[in-house]
Each structure stands twice: as structure tokens, then as C-alpha cells.
């Protein structure tokens, strides 16, 4: 089956959906409210499941070239610099890839023709009649057989079609993040009571850092966010002070973290929610964008195989909800565990990590992540355009 689709949002989820739908022969228009697509966000990792999904779309190799392999979970430290885990990466270990979000986004955008993407196009209304969906955008209306709502954590589409759905919920964690220029830095994670600091090289001498911390409440902001970070971790081990010195104050992003309680369905008639619009999650499993990428491939496979859009969307919903909603819960648990200010739980965590032989750590941590990382994309019927 093929037809026409409007994708709302040109983030990683929306662009991957556009690539996937075009591969099965659909006409795609992406509507993006931002006036330009560019250097937004900081760093992120992608794991094997997401990379396999991109392989299924034929863009995996190119995306890999935009990333930097790393094994961050193999180097866990305390603020003084002592190692809780300092494991050698085995030859056959599974690497993650670290990206500047803009590099990953650019690699995907390169596979969507310019004429398919309309910027400065905010969708403000949506209605469904007789097997068609019409969206309102800047006073004009556009109609298609399918709308893919990839409009992010605060999705307008979700609000319009699921008026009773919960909004993303703050559970207590907040994050500062930035990209700094510094050579010779390895990926690592440093754990303290109530907060942890992540370091991830993203290529060309750029390093992504993030400080995730337990906050008193949502919306707490500081006049100088970099000074706040310095006050918290500026005296931690090298290279953290150097990284902060190499960070221009105006590039520091500060957001509260939230996730979305499970929606009863990701589909409504001829509309499918995808990515953060369907399942906002804490970043601690490194899976938010990865799950959006998986969503896109599964959606295209279902559309290629099914006889009509509602049947395909039912299949998509059944395939995606259990997996993504499980990961949302795992990420929340991991995120809140990682910022626990309870001295007992922090000391216990340190003790347990120190007892694990470094040689066994890579296999153990991969085994724990296997249910997420070993996911295989569905086969789908490709249509040559």
C-alpha cells in the first residue's frame, strides 16, 4: 500500500519517518515549526538497535560515519577520580556511537529531499474525515492519507487528539549539558551522591558533557548556569575542570527531565504518534531518539505490508507500545537511582560496583542491556522511487 503522509516535526523521529515512508513509496511532506533546521541540542549516543534500524533504511553506514565509537559504561569514577569500574573494552565488545545531535540530524536530513521539508510551518489543528487527515498550518490546510505526529515531548497533536492524556511528568531530575572543545578526552561517567557527570567525545575535538542532578523542584534556573555547574563539580577529577573551562557560558543548556505516563494507544484513526510525542523518557537508557528511529522503521514496515492505514497503525501500535513503555519505566528507575541523594544507597551502589571484577564488567553490562540492544528491525518491502 502507498499514499501520502504529512510528518509533523523534523526532529530525529520525523526525519527518520520521512526516510522510511519514502522508501516504501509514499509521498511525504514534513512540516516543521522552526524557521531553520540546524545546530540544536548537544550530544547523544546511539546503540546497536537504533543503528540496525538505520541500516534497514539504507542510511546506517553514513550515520555511523558521523559518530564516534565509545564504551562509556566501562569507566565509572568517583569525584576524586578513583575508579569504581575501569574495564578494558573487549575486542568483540559492542560499541555505542557518540554524536553531536546536529551531526546525526544532518546525516538524516541529507536523505530527505529539500522540497519535502517545509520550515516555519507550525501545525495548530488536525481533523479526520472519510479516511483522510487534514492539518491546519499557518491558516492553510493540507490533507493526506496519514499523519505522523513526531512533534516532540509537548506534542500539539497529542494534545489535540488525546485531550485527556497526561502531560510529561517531572520526577525530580534536571540536566545541564554542553559541547566543549578539548582534545584527548575519553568517555566516562562520574557518580556522586545526588548527581552524576557524563563525558562523551563526539568527534573533531568536541566533547559532550552532561551533569544530571536531583532538583528541589521543576523550573529552577540560574543567572549563570555554567557557574552553577562549576560550583557542583568544578573540583572533581580531571578533565572535568578543564572541560568546564573550555565551555563557553552561553552554550550551556539546562532542562528539567520528564517522562510520559503510558498512553493507552499511539494511534488515532489515520494519525500515529512517534518518538517523544508517544513516549518521552529520561535519557538514562540512551534510548529516546533510538526508540523514535525504531518507531519509524516499524511504522513503514506495517504500512508496506498491510491492506489499509488503520490496520497498519494497529500493527504499529501493538508492536511499539509494550517495548517503548517498558523502556520509559527502566529509564526513570535508572535515572532516579543515579541521582539518589541517600548516602546508604550511594555507598551500597559504590560497594557493589567495586566488587565486580573489571574483566567481567563489559559482558555483565551488555547482558543487562541485551533486551534493548539486540532488537532487530522488521523486514520491509522496499519500493524504488
Ligand X SMILES: Cc1cc2nc3c(=O)[nH]c(=O)nc-3n(C[C@H](O)[C@H](O)[C@H](O)COP(=O)(O)OP(=O)(O)OC[C@H]3O[C@@H](n4cnc5c(N)ncnc54)[C@H](O)[C@@H]3O)c2cc1C
Binding footprint of ligand X on the chain (CB under 6 A): 8-14, 31-34, 44-46, 122-123, 150-153, 156, 175, 177, 210, 255, 275-277, 283, 286-290, 292
Compare residues 85 and 292 and give the one whose CB is closer to ligand X: 292
Least Å from the CB of residue 168 to ligand X: 11
Q: How far is the CB of 311 from ligand X (least distance, A)?
A: 24
Nearest CA among 209, 277, 289 for reference residue 243: 209
Q: Shortest distance, CB of residue 106 to ligand X, whole angstroms?
A: 14
* Residue closer to ligand X (CB basis): 113 or 343: 113
DSSP states of 315-373: HHHHHHHHHHHHHHHHHHHHHHHHT---HHHHHHHHHHHHHS-GGGHHHHHHHHHHHHH
Minimum Å distance from CB 208 to ligand X?
9
Closer to ligand X at the Cβ: 126 or 185? Answer: 126
Of 169 and 383, the one with the shorter C-beta distance to ligand X is 169
**Distance between CA atoms of 249 and 196, rounded to whole angstroms?**
20
Q: Which is nearer to ligand X, 34 or 306 (CB)?
A: 34
- Cβ distance to ligand X smaller for residue 165 or 356: 165
Closest distance to ligand X from the beta carbon of 160 (Å): 9
For the bound state, the minimum distance from the C-beta of residue 285 to ligand X, rounded and expressed in Å, comes to: 8
Asked if 58 contacts 383 with a C-beta cutoff of 8 angstroms, the reply is: no
Looking at beta carbons only, is 150 or 301 nearer to ligand X? 150
Residue 122: CB minimum distance to ligand X, A: 4
Instruction: List helix spans (H) across the chain.
Output: 12-23, 48-56, 60-65, 101-109, 156-161, 225-233, 240-245, 276-279, 288-305, 309-338, 343-355, 361-373
| DSSP reduced 3-state for 214 | strand
Nearest Cα to Cα of residue 99 among 13, 37, 14, 12? 12
Cβ(141)–Cβ(135) under 8 Å? yes
Is the distance from CB of 335 to CB of 257 less than 8 angstroms?
Answer: yes
Contact between 212 and 338 under an 8 Å Cβ cutoff? The reply is yes
Residue closer to ligand X (CB basis): 11 or 239? 11
Residue whose cell numbers read 526532529: 11
CA 306, 311, 316: angle at the middle one, nearest 5? Answer: 85
Instruction: Give me the sign of the Cα torsion angle 121, 324, 327, 98.
Output: negative
CB of residue 293 to ligand X, shortest distance in Å = 8
Cα–chain center distance at 180:
20
The DSSP H or E segment spanning 98 is: strand 96-100
State which residue, 293 or 384, has the beta carbon closest to ligand X. 293
Q: How far apart, in whole angstroms, are the C-alpha atoms of residue 253 and residue 270? A: 36
CB of 371 to ligand X, least distance (A): 16
Amino acid at each position: 500500500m502507498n499514499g501520502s503522509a504529512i510528518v509533523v516535526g523534523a526532529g530525529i523521529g520525523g526525519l527518520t519517518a520521512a526516510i522510511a515512508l519514502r522508501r516504501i513509496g509514499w509521498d511525504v511532506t514534513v512540516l516543521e515549526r522552526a524557521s531553520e533546521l540546524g545546530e540544536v541540542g548537544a550530544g547523544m549516543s546511539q546503540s546497536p538497535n537504533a543503528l540496525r534500524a538505520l541500516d534497514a533504511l539504507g542510511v546506517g553506514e553514513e550515520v555511523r560515519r558521523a559518530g564516534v565509537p565509545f564504551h562509556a559504561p566501562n569507566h565509572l569514577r568517583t569525584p576524586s577520580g578513583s575508579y569504581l569500574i575501569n574495564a578494558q573494552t573487549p575486542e568483540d565488545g559492542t560499541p555505542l556511537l557518540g554524536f553531536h545531535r546536529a551531526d546525526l540530524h544532518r546525516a538524516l536530513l541529507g536523505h530527505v529531499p529539500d522540497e519535502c521539508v517545509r520550515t516555519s510551518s507550525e501545525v495548530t489543528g488536525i481533523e479526520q474525515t472519510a479516511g483522510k487527515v487534514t492539518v491546519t498550518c499557518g491558516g492553510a490546510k493540507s490533507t493526506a492519507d496519514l499523519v505522523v505526529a513526531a512533534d516532540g515531548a509537548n506534542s500539539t497533536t497529542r494534545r489535540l487528539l488525546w485531550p485527556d492524556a497526561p502531560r510529561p511528568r517531572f520526577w525530580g531530575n534536571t540536566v545541564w549539558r554542553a559541547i566543549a572543545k578539548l582534545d584527548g578526552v575519553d568517555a566516562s561517567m562520574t557518580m556522586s551522591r545526588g548527581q552524576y557527570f557524563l563525558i562523551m567525545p563526539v568527534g573533531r575535538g568536541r566533547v559532550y558533557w552532561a551533569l544530571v542532578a536531583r532538583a528541589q523542584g521543576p523550573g529552577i534556573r540560574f543567572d549563570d548556569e555554567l557557574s552553577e555547574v562549576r560550583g557542583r563539580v568544578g573540583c572533581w577529577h580531571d578533565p572535568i575542570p578543564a572541560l568546564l573551562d573550555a565551555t563557553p557560558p552561553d552554550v550551556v543548556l539546562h532542562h528539567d527531565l520528564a517522562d510520559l505516563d503510558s498512553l493507552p494507544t499511539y494511534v488515532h484513526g489515520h494519525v500515529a504518534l512517534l518518538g517523544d510525542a508517544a513516549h518521552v523518557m529520561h535519557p538514562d537508557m540512551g534510548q529516546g531518539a533510538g526508540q523514535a528511529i525504531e518507531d519509524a522503521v516499524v511504522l513503514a514496515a506495517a504500512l508496506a505490508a498491510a491492506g489499509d492505514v488503520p490496520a497498519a497503525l494497529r500493527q504499529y501500535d501493538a508492536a511499539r507500545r509494550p517495548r517503548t513503555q517498558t523502556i520509559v519505566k527502566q529509564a526513570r528507575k535508572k535515572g532516579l537511582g543515579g541521582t539518589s541523594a541517600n548516602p546508604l544507597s550511594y555507598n551500597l551502589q559504590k560497594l557493589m560496583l567495586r566488587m565486580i571484577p573489571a574483566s567481567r564488567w563489559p559482558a555483565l553490562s551488555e547482558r543487562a542491556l541485551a533486551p534493548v540492544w539486540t532488537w532487530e528491525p522488521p523486514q520491509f518491502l522496499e519500493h524504488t522511487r
